[in-house]
Chain A
């Protein structure tokens, strides 16, 4: 099934192809589309927030609606936009970087995708069904327990579904990296983006179960009358916070580590140098991930855990600055002495360095517990995490999209528009969030629907809102760029003089990726071959039949089943007739599972002859 054949098929056939695909590249693209869609929604919600805070005592939106806005903004950005965008990139690129034909569990990969999509849709259905969740993306008990309506129930069910999808995806990546590397691709020859994918998956594996458990506790409290968080009945609300941050802190590393990996690849490619201090970079990644689990209570300095706990968590948190600092300096050293090309992708990477340095620095400032008594829950924190999550992760995603777009879609994004996007977004970003550090210290707590007149907060908020509009312009130019690029000329297989394996195959790659597994002889395998004058990878195996998995609609149906059951769980509180939706949905899901288990599917082979016919 070549690209040419795909293009000739009608819309219905393409749609069916994508609904049933188990190809990690198409799944990657679906993740990008889903994540991109939710990113626009999350951005729109942020705009609503910023419009409301344009001037003091504004009444653009009501208090309750405002709380729904920032809750959905945070939840959407973290769970439905940024993380899926990263998972999409990892899905598409990581197997290519290790020379694999597919991921370890193609079926599960597809299931993870559809669970994410249906979880996200379920969560957003709340907008139309009586109100979105309104207790912040952190949903602290007991506020989330007492929140009227079904908003929080949608939060619980939506995140449970999409969280299960993420967990499945993480396990899949882990096994893929462990078992599917090409001959010669030892661990210490893997590109940093692949390393980041690997470590991130470990974080997902250990962090998401904490979220799952917490959501179950809340679900039982809200839907089935248990009292884990009900103080009047002997429950404890601080448990929610511990479990939430036991998940939530690693979660921010799940968001940032892939960006670190990507930037390592980008700096090295566009400086024409190998990564400086590769080994240190790998160990720094591992160390950051480990410490990421040890510091959750720094979100809880003001909860009243006492000076011993606060001190321990303060020091553990500050320790993260050390491996992070190693990374920043190694990136600079990678560029030092290099031959630096500045294009759109590299611009985002270069913009990342000062931005993320500020974000990291404010992180250390927050770690100083007594200082945090002032910062906590104010706009200082809002500024800090946007410096990290936008200045790190979103910049990383933008850099990655410009970098890998030619690989994924066979076209190069327009450079001029790319630069406009960068500069408007970059300047808008700093306008929006730099002033927020001051707003916080000047007495503006976060999650404030209005700020009052004559508190000295007007100018800062105005500037901040203007910056948000500038960022939106950047995003719009980027969208135009995407549509414009559809008609541009074809990209070569290796437009950036790349160093890792994904650049050794055509753009976009055939669905079996590598006709013959490449033989890896060191770090930056393609670069090694180029330096030795060969210019392409040596094959590690003779040309032979390739085994590929079959497409299947079962993961989609299974997710539909869980989706229906989700509604059942939410509404059975109002009327027990809704229990039937639980039964029907679960029957569909379990039926699909049984079908999958009982029916053998051995996949198919692409014959040697076909491969030869497709040869260029």
Chain B
């Protein structure tokens, strides 16, 4: 039996080692590679608690191993009756007091960090973004800036960005692991949090609260660019003219088809706050289609022809007339050409 015990331990050790060597997950997705203020704060507590807990675990395992190696029933001991010990005040006091101390060591920084992250003093003059969770996409409204985007959220590096969160339907949870912990988007009230990215990058975000069949596909990106690039992006976005005609004829047909087929009933281009469907202003710059597909025209055509096969249960399915392959193709061409800004995910190094 003992050999087995040894073996299984070795398996765990190797297993966990392999994982750690694998690098703690994908950069820009892993909470173990913090790149923002909130994520740092969580990471510090994670490390502190792991240290305390590893200590506890080692103590328990030491006693455990001693017990198992010294006090097994041995041959010829069949009739041996151990002393029936009732208890031991000193020992029991020790293992009551030490855990209390350990808990206090963890509790104090926890409370400090909790209040720190809830501090919203910077929200009055800082950058505020209203985040709305929808089945299965995210809407971002840059408060006071007349900018609406979806799925891709641009922020300036090194600045506190205040997020005011609500949901339009069921509960969602906004999570960008490498920037900060998550916060629920509830339908009845606004939740506030802030994020701050230390370096440029495209950070992967996920919905963390079960919200229906396509819950696992409700991805989005936070794109942190330099403050200068961010200002430029704001300028570019503010000067978008939704009625501007595209240059080539296919895209012109696409624009017409887009309008004819009531796509505009749900979507919007420019700064109007349509919230049934994602705002498509900078669609051509998007890092992904529907949050999960490579940004290619073929994928976009597939999406338009049959969104259900890509995101089951989504609210676009069945809400517009059937399109021919050709119409879908021209619409895709039009949308892919919506690239109002020089600042794109590539600017952040993607």
List chain A positions with a Cβ less than 8 A from chain B: 62-64, 67, 134-136, 140, 142-143, 146, 231, 235-238, 271-274, 276-280, 302-304, 306-307, 310-311, 314-315, 318-319, 321-322, 325-326, 328-330, 332-333, 335-342, 347, 350, 353-354, 357-358, 361-362, 364-365, 367-374, 376-378, 419, 423, 426-427, 430-431, 434-435, 438, 441-443, 445, 447-452, 454-457, 459-460, 463, 531
Contact = CB atoms under 8 A, between A and B. Distances in A.
B182 A463 contact: no
Contacts of B212: 67, 143
Interface in B191-250: 191-192, 204, 206-217, 219
B92 A374 contact: no
A73 B289 CA distance: 33
Contacts of B30: 441-443, 456
A310 B114 contact: yes
A368 B67 contact: no
Nearest to A230: B187
Given A326-B92, A447-B215, 12 more contacts: A64-B312, A67-B215, A142-B171, A237-B171, A272-B81, A302-B183, A329-B91, A329-B95, A339-B80, A447-B210, A448-B215, A457-B25
Nearest to B210: A447
B120 to A, nearest CB: 11
Contact of A445 (B63, B175, B183): B175
Contact of B72 (A238, A342, A435, A452): A342
Interface residues of B, number: 102
18 contacts: A140-B170, A142-B171, A143-B211, A238-B186, A238-B188, A315-B111, A322-B99, A322-B100, A339-B82, A357-B56, A365-B46, A374-B39, A423-B4, A423-B8, A430-B11, A435-B16, A442-B24, A449-B213
B12 A434 contact: yes
B215 A449 contact: yes
Given A307-B114, A370-B181, A277 B106 contact: no
Contacts of A365: 46, 49-50, 53
Contacts of A303: 184, 186
A273 B86 CA distance: 9
B149 interface: no
A237 B38 CA distance: 27
A355 B67 CA distance: 17
B95 A336 contact: no
The 4 closest A-B pairs by CB, nearest first: A373-B181, A442-B25, A304-B191, A448-B216
Contacts of A374: 31, 39, 42-43, 46, 177, 181-182
Interface string B85-129: 111100110011001101100110011011101100000000000
B68 interface: yes
Contacts of A237: 171, 186-188
Contact of B24 (A67, A339, A438): A438
A143 B170 contact: yes
Contact of B182 (A302, A340, A447): A302
B86 A278 contact: yes
B313 interface: yes
B91 A333 contact: yes
Given A442-B30, A445-B207, A456-B22, A427 B8 contact: yes
A369 B29 contact: no
A445 B206 contact: yes
B180 interface: yes
A332 B64 contact: yes
B114 A314 contact: yes
Interface in B116-157: 117-118
A276 B92 CA distance: 10
Contacts of A336: 63, 66-67, 71
B103 A322 contact: yes
Nearest to B96: A326
Interface of B: 1, 4, 8, 11-12, 15-16, 18-19, 22-26, 29-32, 38-39, 41-43, 45-46, 49-50, 52-53, 56-57, 60-61, 63-64, 66-68, 71-73, 77, 80-88, 91-92, 95-96, 99-100, 102-103, 106-107, 110-111, 113-115, 117-118, 169-171, 173, 175, 177, 180-184, 186-189, 191-192, 204, 206-217, 219, 292, 312-313
B85 A443 contact: no
Contacts of A278: 86-87
B95 A325 contact: yes
Contacts of B26: 442-443, 454-457
Nearest to A426: B8
Given A314-B111, A438-B25, A231 B188 contact: yes
Contact of A353 (B24, B60, B206): B60
Nearest to B113: A370
Given A278-B86, A325-B99, A353-B60, A377 B208 contact: yes
A140 B210 contact: yes
B213 A67 contact: yes
Interface centre among B60, B92, B96 (most CB of A within 10 A): B60
A531 B79 CA distance: 12
B25 to A, nearest CB: 3
B285 to A, nearest CB: 21
A280 B177 contact: no
A354 B67 CA distance: 13
Interface centre among A350, A353, A373, A427 (most CB of B within 10 A): A373
A430 B11 CA distance: 10
Interface centre among B22, B71, B84, B173 (most CB of A within 10 A): B84
A361 B57 CA distance: 8
Nearest to B2: A342
B180 to A, nearest CB: 7
Nearest to A312: B111
B60 A328 contact: yes
A22 B209 CA distance: 45
Contact of A361 (B4, B56, B85, B117): B56
Contacts of B63: 329, 332, 336
B18 to A, nearest CB: 7
A459 B45 CA distance: 27
A434 B219 CA distance: 26
B19 A459 contact: yes
Nearest to B192: A304
B216 to A, nearest CB: 4
A378 B208 CA distance: 7
A335 B71 contact: yes
B287 to A, nearest CB: 13
Contact of B15 (A318, A332, A434): A434
B107 A315 contact: yes
A330 B99 CA distance: 14
B60 A332 contact: yes
B186 to A, nearest CB: 7
B307 to A, nearest CB: 13
Nearest to B79: A339
Nearest to A71: B210
A419 to B, nearest CB: 8
B80 to A, nearest CB: 5
Contacts of A368: 45-46, 49, 106, 110
B95 A276 contact: no
A342 B115 CA distance: 50
Nearest to A363: B53
Nearest to B33: A442
Interface centre among A354, A374, A441 (most CB of B within 10 A): A374
A274 B100 contact: no
A431 to B, nearest CB: 7
Nearest to A467: B15
Contacts of A63: 213-214, 216, 312-313
Contacts of B204: 443, 455
Contacts of B73: 339-341
Interface centre among B18, B45, B67, B207 (most CB of A within 10 A): B67
A280 B57 contact: no
Contact of A373 (B38, B67, B216): B38
